[in-house]
């Protein structure tokens, strides 16, 4: 087999759908719970469904685990001892970088590679072309095999765990930002100013790149943490008056209080407000 998937759910199915269009490829899969629909999909795509996990992994050039974050380490503990030189184990689960690091540290035979793969988009609709970040000693081999087949693979010059770290840290922002918007928007609706609120946010944010926003926010947040913390007291009161639970705003207030305990203006120097975000973050990380 050229590639075998552990878990033949929606993600694996759509990846196989795309890969099948790229030419002759021996594709296999193992799933502990094969439904009639799953069997039909496998037949349609000429994917061999194996009757055991061990049989599926035997001889496969790439073994891709695509089950769940909670089962990733346990499956790797079972599978890695079966693999031999020339095989590469790829974990595509949306798991924490510590899980990927733990997998990388499991005993395995010499010549067996491990690739930490972070899927950075939705697989349905993109199929095998969904962007992925790769890290670990098996990343280059996976990229060399499947980039020519149209997979959008970026190999990081980093150890296993780095790819998943980017996915998790992106989630901090992309999952956290909607919660801030929901909190503010609920109060805006209750005060009857939702559209004006959105327009005002647009005046501050529209047209700016992430790097520009980072440069605007980072050093100035450190230096003005005390004043902004006081403003958050009023923000909490505003939300409470509107009957909205200010859980995100309270967290912001608490973090600003923590930052205000340090004299950042002195630490960052007279031109501290103009520091680029990378320098400011380096100071913050070193101080923490």
Q: Pull the structure tokens for residue 140.
A: 């280059």
Give mean pLDDT, residues 238-251.
96
Residue whose token pair is 């094969």 = 34
Contacts of 42 (CB under 8 A, 6+ apart): 8, 29, 48, 49
Query: How do beta strands 3-6 and 27-30 pair?
Result: parallel
Give mean pLDDT, residues 180-209.
97
Q: What is the pLDDT of residue 30?
A: 97
Domains of the chain: 3-160 (3.40.50.720), 166-287 (1.10.1040)
pLDDT by residue (tens digit) across 82-141?
A: 999 999 999 999 999 999 999 999 999 999 999 999 999 999 999 999 999 999 999 999
- Report which DSSP code applies to 127: G
Whats the size of the chain, residue-wise? 288
Rounded alpha-carbon distances, angstroms, from residue 182 to 121, 198, 230, 244: 23, 12, 22, 10
Q: What is the pLDDT of residue 189?
A: 97
What is the rounded average pLDDT for all residues in the chain? 96
Q: What is the pLDDT of residue 288?
A: 79
| Cβ neighbours of 165 (radius 10 Å) | 20
Burial of 263 (0-12, 13-18, 19+ CB in 10 A): exposed
């Amino acid at each position: 087999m050229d590639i075998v998937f552990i878990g033949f759910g929606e993600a694996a199915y759509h990846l196989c759908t795309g890969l099948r269009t790229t030419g002759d490829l021996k594709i296999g899969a193992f799933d502990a719970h094969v439904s009639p629909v799953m069997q039909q999909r496998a037949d349609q795509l000429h994917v061999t469904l194996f009757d055991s996990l061990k049989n599926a992994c035997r001889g496969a050039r790439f073994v891709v685990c695509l089950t769940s974050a909670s089962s990733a380490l346990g499956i790797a503990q079972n599978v890695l001892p079966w693999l031999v030189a020339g095989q590469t184990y790829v974990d595509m689960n949306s798991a924490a970088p510590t899980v990927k690091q733990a997998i990388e540290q499991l005993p395995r035979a010499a010549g067996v590679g491990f690739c930490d793969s972070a899927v950075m988009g939705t697989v349905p609709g993109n199929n095998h072309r969904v962007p992925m970040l790769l890290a670990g000693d098996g990343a280059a081999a996976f990229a060399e095999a499947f980039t020519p087949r149209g997979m959008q693979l970026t190999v990081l010059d980093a150890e296993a765990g780095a790819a998943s770290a980017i996915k998790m840290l992106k989630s901090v922002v992309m999952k956290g930002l909607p919660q801030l918007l929901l909190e503010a928007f609920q109060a805006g609706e209750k005060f009857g100013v939702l559209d004006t609120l959105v327009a005002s946010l647009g005046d501050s944010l529209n047209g700016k790149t992430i790097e520009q926003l980072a440069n605007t926010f980072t050093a100035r947040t450190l230096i003005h943490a005390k004043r902004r913390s006081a403003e958050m007291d009023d923000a909490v009161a505003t939300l409470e008056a509107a009957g909205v639970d200010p859980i995100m705003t309270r967290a912001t207030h608490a973090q600003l209080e923590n930052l205000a305990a340090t004299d950042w203006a002195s630490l960052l120097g007279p031109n501290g407000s103009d520091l680029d975000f990378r320098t400011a973050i380096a100071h913050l990380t070193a101080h923490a």
